[in-house]
Chain A
Amino acid sequence: MKENTRTIIASVVGLVALAVLLLFVPRVLFPVCGIFLPADIAAHPAISANQVNLVTEAPTAAFQTLGEIRAEVAYNALSDDVRDAVISKVKSLAANAGANTVVVNVLVPGQGARTVLTFIGTAIAA
């Protein structure tokens, strides 16, 4: 009887400790990651992200290519929120680089085991 009590108490305290541990384990977050790869040495003054437009075709008028923007985000379920988060990150990267337009080259969900939405675009000053 005493041994049973000892086992039950030890097991319950162990499970409570395990539950507390799991409670404090950090949640998996999927941040939007990206980078602006400059196409030339000269730096351009930053602008507001609100001034950045995303287009699917390069403008017919003259423009200057400032660089390439690439971004990725992992997701459990592909939704408009995921896509909006990528676009927001892309606009932020473009604005910091001084680009008022981003030509979308690739915006595709990953294939296979990795569920990642990938963006590749060209940052331009139109």
Chain B
Amino acid sequence: MNIDFPLILLSIVVFSGVVVLCDFVFCVLRRESFFEKKKRPWIIEYSRSFFPVLLLVFVIRSFVIQPYRVPTSSLAPTVTPGDFILVNQYQYGLRFPVWNKKIWPIGEPSHGQIALFFYPVDHAITFVKRVIGVPGDHISYINKTLYINGEKQPITYVGKVTTFTDFGQWVTYQKYQENFMGIKHDIYMRADAPARDFYNLEVPPGKYFMMGDNRDDSDDSRYWGFVAENEFIGHALLVWMSWDAQASHWYEYIRWHNIGNRL
């Protein structure tokens, strides 16, 4: 069992909810008012106080929106380590947390969206990448340029950027702007990294091909394969906070220019 925040939250909601329900039954049997203000045993008092709040948090976090902190630079420069993003929890269908079972189909991931999903190799880990291929697509990656169903996704050179990697090393990236299926966004490439071309990769039904914008420093579908539809969590909407833990001055910790960026 994967003991993560959704399971802990659900456990507390279930326990406090059942305690409140039992208390309600007692009140009915004894013909007492459930809402009467009086001193109750602490476990019942706390359950009555916290259950509505925890239930609200559970419902909002599970079915509406949840925050997520990005730990790596695999989506740089679009999303950088320390960015806090808001994730739309219902766009890919309402799913019951912990089991991640879809209970209400609403939409599917589409090209260019940045999506949160369970790492297919280990569902205890959450990844965030861009949707590159949807079921039925044929993807080629030739000389670091993507081709979707034979259509080239053009890239334009922007300039050089030197930045810290996740491993604390300075690296110079070549920054490009990619026009991916009409969505313009920046990507990073490393001049010293081989292209690793592939041709005409077909995306099977019910599966998606995901890639990071940091093309040569991203652990993505090129390494572990496709993401199944039932492994998606939600669609990343915007950056609501950006914290630079490696800043040299206290006033540089918050990256104000990133806050509010729509994804």
Contacts and interface: CB of A to CB of B under 8 A. Distances in A.
Given A14-B15, A22-B11, A39 B121 contact: no
A38 B123 CA distance: 27
A5 to B, nearest CB: 9
A60 B209 CA distance: 35
A114 B200 contact: no
Given A25-B98, A68-B198, A7 B43 contact: yes
Contact of A17 (B15, B41, B124, B196): B15
Which residue, A33, A39, A71, has most C-beta atoms of chain B within 10 A? A33
Interface string B85-102: 000000000000011000
B46 to A, nearest CB: 11
B1 A25 contact: yes
B43 A72 contact: no
Contacts of B124: 28
A11 B19 contact: yes
A108 interface: no
Nearest to A32: B121
A74 interface: yes
Interface string A29-57: 11101110111110100000000000000
A40 B226 CA distance: 19
B22 interface: yes
Nearest to A21: B14
B177 interface: no
A53 to B, nearest CB: 22
A33 B221 CA distance: 10
B15 A25 contact: no
A14 B20 CA distance: 9
B123 A72 contact: no
Contact of B223 (A4, A38, A72): A72
Given A17-B15, A39-B198, A68-B198, A28 B22 contact: no
A78 interface: no
A3 interface: yes
B221 A114 contact: no
Nearest to A36: B201
Q: How many B residues touch the partner, as a band?
A: 35 or more
Contacts of A114: 122, 125
B103 to A, nearest CB: 16
A10 interface: yes
Contact of B199 (A3, A38, A73, A116): A38
B7 interface: yes
B171 to A, nearest CB: 19
Given A3-B40, A15-B15, A17-B15, A74 B23 contact: no
Contacts of B16: 14
B18 A14 contact: yes
Given A33-B225, A37-B198, A68-B198, A10 B23 contact: yes
Which residue, B140, B222, B223, has most C-beta atoms of chain A within 10 A? B223
B222 A28 contact: no
Contact of A38 (B26, B99, B200, B221): B200
B121 A73 contact: yes
B223 A70 contact: yes
Contact of A6 (B41, B201, B225): B41
A126 interface: no
A21 B157 CA distance: 53
A92 B7 CA distance: 35
4 closest A-B pairs by beta carbon, nearest first, are: A37-B198, A10-B22, A35-B225, A74-B122
Given A34-B225, A39-B199, 4 more contacts: A18-B15, A25-B98, A35-B225, A38-B198
